[in-house]
Structure 1
Amino acid sequence: MSDQHDHLALTPEVKPPPLEAVEKVDYNDVSDFAEIPELERGIVRKVDMRILPPLWVMYWLNYLDRNNIGNAQSAGMGTDLHLTSTQYSLAVSIFFIGYLLLQVPSNMILHRTRPRFYLPGTMLAWGCMVLVYLAVRDAGGLIAVRLCLRIIEAGFFPGALFYMSRWYKRNELAKRYAAFYSASLLAGAFGGLLAGAILSGLEGTAGLPAWKWLFLIEGLMTISFCMVAPEYAVKRLLAERSSESAGETGISHLKALSLAVKDWKVWFLALSQNLAAAAGTITYFVPTLTEALGYAGRMSQFMTVPVYAVALVMMISFALSSDKLNERPWHIFVSAITGAVSCAIVADVDTVPVLRYVFFCFALAGIQTTVMLNFVLLGNSFGRPVEKRAVAIAIVNGVANLASVYGSYIWPSNTAPRYIPGFVSTTCFMGGVMICALVYRFVYPRFPDRVDRSGDAGGVSGGSE
């Protein structure tokens, strides 16, 4: 048992928990950890180190692969493929049809299978599909590749959210979701740097235009990382401290689907996240919008970096505050109003480009922080059975992403350089999220989450290794 205590990396002042207490811990139920704080901290540290880094890199690459179309567009893809504004918007929006269709079944499968195989396997498939961009010759080919790419990788993001929700308590989740979601912001910043570098040095190399080099490099990066398995080490860590294998009695897929569909919170949170996702379509046009703010060529790519940097700082700050205060709706309200007011200022101001750029940074920061906090609220709103939570996360994320079908059309090129319809619409979307946050804050306490005991097997599990 002394070896096990060594693994916990306890400080010298802390007295290790008694042997009898350790042996009584049920590692399927997070509530037992609260009785042994030192043991809890040691396990949570190791869960953080074993799960978050590989998931972070996987999401970083995922975000690069599905959002690089914006960088490719400003790097000359639209000209080479003779894309109209409508065709480009269709290529962006059709990406989310597969998201809606496959997220629920994917999360059901993930709950019954091994994440160490399922998530990297999904990653390998979408990395290969990114390379198919090199064969695209016209708008039809681009749209087809985008649709297939989304069908393949639809399960990764909701699967990762569900996976993390099973490892952390409610007041620990915002920091972990923020750390995970920060990958998208750094991917946005890195995507701009990479696109700028490619425009500078690889245009025409080996007969390929710069935008195809962008897809080639990012696709190969994804494939090279796909063998990372985030589950096994942590599962073994828990197995060392438990006399029984972690497992759940579980409920059927049909029962889980029925419980989720009948829960009003699922559809209310889907509405809130749909509005946030509609505002989030701005991320597909960040290089285009920075160009409209007066930064041309490579500089429009490089100037996307501060935009994502501001968003990262705001997101981490709100996540730390939200977990410390164990509060979500008011944080969502404040981040949403930040995005709404900033978008309104960008739409209204015309004569001061620097001021527009500064508030554009805060607009994206408010929107991205709101999206992240909505996911935290989603993970916190459903306890057990975990099968219901898996379905609820998938439903909300799938319905929310329907917003991208119409949201991508609010930025038509003929409204440049001010893009008034886009910024005004985004302001309204954020206003809707503010209302939803207030309603949830005052209505949710009247309808506490009900636990279906037929599937009540604990709040945290290491998966099914």
Structure 2
Amino acid sequence: MADDISRNNNDRIEVEIEKERIENLEHVAEQRNVVPHIDPARRVVVEKSLKRKLDARCSLFVLIYIMNYLDRNNISAARLKGLQEDLNLTNTQYSTCLSILYVGYILMQVPSNMFINRIQRPSIYIAIAMTLWGLISTCSGLAGNFGHMVAIRFLLGFVEAAFLPGALLILSKWYTRRELTTRNAVLFCGNLISNAFSSLVAAGVLSNMDGVLGHAAWRWLFWIEGAITMTIAVSAAFILPDLPTNSRGFTEEELLVAQLRILEDVGEADTDSEEQSPFTGLIMALKDVKIYLMMLAFTAYVVGLSFNAFFPTLTGTLGFAYVPTLLMSAPPWVFACIFSLVNAWHADRTQEKIWHIYGPIFMGLVGFIISMSTLNVAARYIALFLQAGSYAGFIVFYSWISSSFPRPPAKRAVALALINAFSQLGNIAGSYVWGLKENGYRKSYGIVTAMYGITIVGFWIFRMILVNLNKKLEIKEAEWDAQNSEQQGDVAFMESADESLRMRKGFRYLI
């Protein structure tokens, strides 16, 4: 009985809160030519249904990301079972095969996200891209020399570029700033799980498929994983959501609430002006100095995380055979996945960014230092857990991009793609960092430690820029209040020549 009374009280409180929010929202909507009509009590029910459906459908992004990374990084596991020897690759050529993928990846990301921001059915676009990269990945098993592998890896990166920035953009169109970090963490768990899962799959294929139908086991690894990718791609076209204005599988009420949630979050509908050309967002992004700072700092972070592509090799320094090495590569990434979810959930709950990025980075630094300081097997294995855990800050950073460039969508789309694309230079550099394998990769660990130091400084400067913008917003609001003391509510919009300050009253950048 007491529980029923408590639930009823909580429902009444939620309804009252919704009434207040919608009263303000109607003023905002009137200014932005959107007219919502939904009862507050009904809004609570519809929003819960919306988020339940949305979470279920967006969970497919995790599986897609798993395959995205499996198809990208299975070359590392294949190397342990003869790929380099069969193709007569030198160490430098092998590193080139790794790094060339990111050339295509960098070239395609910004054009792809500009395109995906303009189309009405991004789910179909992602499904087509996934089918193509699955097909290209299977061709890796047909490579006969260095030239073949370089061409295949370039095309693979070119097509795979559509997925991550596109997925991040779609999520930012549905989830509010208070929800986005956790959802991004769930998405990036696909990355982390793939690092664990790929080792287990590789161990099974490489141990049992050698010589089947006269082919080496590493070739079967590419064929099997590529076929799985293409199979999953078919379902993506039917399951993934499109836009809050036209997505199939949602009721009209749910789509209306989806639009209202974003309207409340940033103060205007998440749509671009009809007057904007496809290049307007690109021009706006290129004029924003904050993006260049994030590009440089994040690239240093990616160099620091480059151990990911060499993880089985680093685990191999513990001195075990290749199957135990692959199996031992999985647990650190399971730990990283769990830690990342907890870290992201707490970042959303506290609405704080910088320390939820710094914490995992400091953890990774401890792991690097241990790896440089000792050859003890147990200590080095623990260090691998700490290094993998540093990915948790990487995840929070992506939601920081979205919240720092909330409007218009065209600019946010380019910001996500531009920062992510430029950061892939870090993966290219990282491909060569781990060629310095003397003394258990001590020199390599020294380089990534320095890169984490650059990341810490760059992110702090960015935070100070946002703090300064928040102070300017406070000053502008105080000026507005003094001039409009008779107007009630907090739905006014600040006017400024600086686009970063043209925000709804009450808006603050997350730091």
TM-score of the aligned structures, taking structure 1 as reference length: 0.87
The 1:280–1:269 alpha-carbon spacing in structure 2 relative to 1, beyond 3 Å, is same
- 1:447 corresponds to 2:469: yes
Residue 260 in structure 1 maps to residue 285 in structure 2: yes
Q: Distance in 2 between matches of 1:111 and 1:55?
A: 18
Question: How many angstroms apart in 2 are the aligned matches of 1:455 and 1:216?
Answer: 51
Q: Superposed, which structure 2 residues align to 1:416-431 within 5 Å? A: 416=438, 418-431=440-453
> Which residue of structure 2 lines up, in the alignment, with residue 102 of structure 1?
108
How do 1:338-377 residues align onto structure 2 when only pairs under 5 Å count? 338-350=363-375, 352-366=376-390, 368-377=391-400
Structure 2 match to 1:239: 252
State the one-letter code of the partner of 1:375: Y
Q: Report matched runs for 1:168-317 at 5 Å.
A: 168-227=175-234, 228-229=236-237, 230-231=240-241, 235-236=247-248, 237=250, 239-241=252-254, 248-250=272-274, 251-317=276-342
Gaps of 5+ in 2: 1-6, 260-270, 474-497
Q: Does 1:89 align with 2:95?
A: yes
Provide closer, same or farther for how the CA distance between residues 269 and 86 of structure 1 changes in structure 2, counting only shifts above 3 A: same
Cα 1:258–1:34 change in 2 (3 A) is farther
Q: Give identity over the alignment, percent.
A: 30
Deviation at 1:254, TM superposition (A): 2.1
From 142, 163, 173, the equivalent of 2:170 is 163
Q: Is the 8 A contact 1:249 1:455 kept in 2?
A: no
CA distance in 2, matches of 1:211, 1:77: 6
CA contact (8 A) 1:386 1:455 kept: no
Structure 1 CA distance for aligned equivalents of residues 424 and 187 of structure 2 = 19
In the alignment, which residue of structure 2 is the partner of 1:133?
A: 140
1:400 aligned to 2:406? Answer: no
CA RMSD of aligned residues (A): 3.1
**Paired letter, 1:70:** S
Matched with 2:355 is 330
Q: Which amino acid aligns with 1:432?
A: I
Pair 1:211–1:243, CA change in 2 (3 A): closer
Q: Offset at 1:46?
A: 2.3
CA–CA distance in structure 2, aligned partners of residues 259 and 233 of structure 1: 23
Q: Which whole-Å deviations, capped at 9, do the CAs of 1:224-258 have from their partners, x for residues lacking one?
A: 01122302597242534567997653522222111
Alignment of 1:45-60 (within 5 A): 45-50=52-57, 52-60=58-66
1:142-164 deviations in whole A, cap 9, x for unaligned? 11110011112211111111111
Could you say which residue in structure 2 is the equivalent of 1:118?
A: 125
Instruction: For 1:274 and 1:159, locate their aligned partners in 2 and report how far apart those are by CA, in whole Å.
Output: 19
Q: Distance in 2 between matches of 1:46 and 1:394?
A: 27
Deviations 1:20-52 (A, max 9, x none): 9699797999x99997555434322322122x2
Aligned position for 2:478: none
CA contact (8 A) 2:50 2:254 kept: no
Shift of the 243–381 alpha-carbon distance from structure 1 to 2, 3 Å rule, reads closer
Residue 411 of structure 1: aligned partner: 434
Letter in 1 for 2:278: H
* Match of residue 380, structure 1, among 403, 407, 424: 403
Aligned residue pair count: 442
**CA deviation string 1:164-186 (max 9, x = no partner):** 11111112111001000001111
Q: Residues 18-57 of structure 1: matches in 2 within 5 Å?
A: 37-50=44-57, 52-57=58-63
1:252/1:34 CA distance change after superposition, 3 Å:
farther
Question: CA shift at 1:137, angstroms?
Answer: 0.6
The equivalences for 1:5-24 within 5 A come to: 14=11
Greater RCO structure (CA 8 Å; 6+ sep): 1
Structure with greater Cα Rg: 2
Residues 12 and 76 (structure 1), Cα distance of their counterparts in 2 relative to 1, 3 Å cut: farther
